[in-house]
Amino acid sequence: MEYYTWILTFHVVAFMSWMAMLFYLPRLFVYHVENIDKKEYVEIVKIQEFKIYKYIGAPAMWATILSGITMLTLNPVLLNFSVNPWMYAKLSALLLLIIYSFSLEKYRKELNHDICKKSGKFFRMYNEMPTMLAILIVGYVITKSFSLIFTSIIIILFAYISYVIMKPKKVK
C-alpha cells in the first residue's frame, strides 16, 4: 500500500490524457467530414487523427486500465459491492468509455479510407458522450456513492443535448 497513492496519481494522469483524446478526436472528425472537398486539409487532419489516437489515446487508455486493475488488486475491498456499490457504477461507465474509445478507432479507419458516411452533425453529437461518462465516473469516485437521481439527470441532460444537436434546422 506504500505505493498506492503513486499508482493513483499515475491513474488520474493517464485518465486525463485519455480524456483529452476522447474530447478532441471527434472534433477532428467534424473538421474532416465538413472539409472533405479540401484534399490537402483532409490529409493533414488524417495525420492528426492517427497520431492522437495511436500515440496519446490508446496508450493512455491502457495505462488507465492497467493502473486501475493494479489499484483494485492492492485494495480488493473496493470490489466489495455491499461496501462500495459506486465502484460497479464507475466500472460500468468505464466499460462504455472503453467501447466508445474503440468506436473512435473504427471511425478513424473509415475516414482514413474515405468510406465513412457519418455527418459533422453526428460527430458533434457523438463528441458529447465522453463528457457524460466522465461526469458520471468523477461523480461516483468523488462522492463514493451511486445516486440513481444523479445518473438519471446526467443521462437525460445529455440525451437532450444530443437531440438539440441532431434535430433538423428549421428552414425559413
147: cell is: 445516486
Q: How far is it, in rounded angstroms, from Cα 31 to Cα 43?
A: 11
Q: How confident is the model at residue 147 (pLDDT cuts 50, 70, 90)?
A: very high
Identify the pLDDT of residue 111. Answer: 98
Q: How far apart are CA 148 and CA 170, in angstroms?
A: 36
136 vs 36: CA distance, rounded Å:
35
In whole angstroms, what is the distance from residue 62 CA to residue 91 CA?
15
What is the rounded distance in angstroms from the CA atom of residue 74 to the CA atom of residue 115?
Answer: 45
How crowded is residue 151: how many other Cβ atoms within 10 Å of its Cβ? 17
Q: Please give the Cα distance from 172 to 10 (Å, whole number).
A: 53
| pLDDT greater than 90 at residue 172 | no
| 36, 42 Cβ separation under 8 angstroms | yes
Whole-angstrom Cα distance, residue 125 to residue 155? 14
Grid-cell match 474532416, residue found: 32
Q: How far is Cα 108 from Cα 123, in angstroms, rounded to an integer? A: 12
Claim: this prediction has a pTM higher than 0.85:
yes
pLDDT in tens, 17-28: 999 999 999 999
Average pLDDT (137-152) is: 96
> Taking the domains of the chain in order of start, what are their residue ranges?
4-166
Q: What is the pLDDT of residues 48-75, one digit of tens each?
A: 999 999 999 999 999 999 999 999 999 9
| All residues at 6 or more sequence positions from 7 whose CB lies less than 8 Å from its CB, including other chains | 67, 70, 71, 74
pLDDT in tens, 90-144: 999 999 999 999 999 999 999 999 999 999 999 999 999 999 999 999 999 999 9
Calpha distance 93→70 (Å, rounded): 19
Does position 171 have pLDDT exceeding 80, yes or no? Answer: no
Whether the Cβ atoms of residue 103 and residue 22 lie closer than 8 Å to each other? no
Binding residues: 11, 90
Contact between 129 and 100 (Cβ < 8 Å):
yes
Specify binding-site residues for heme.
Answer: 11, 90
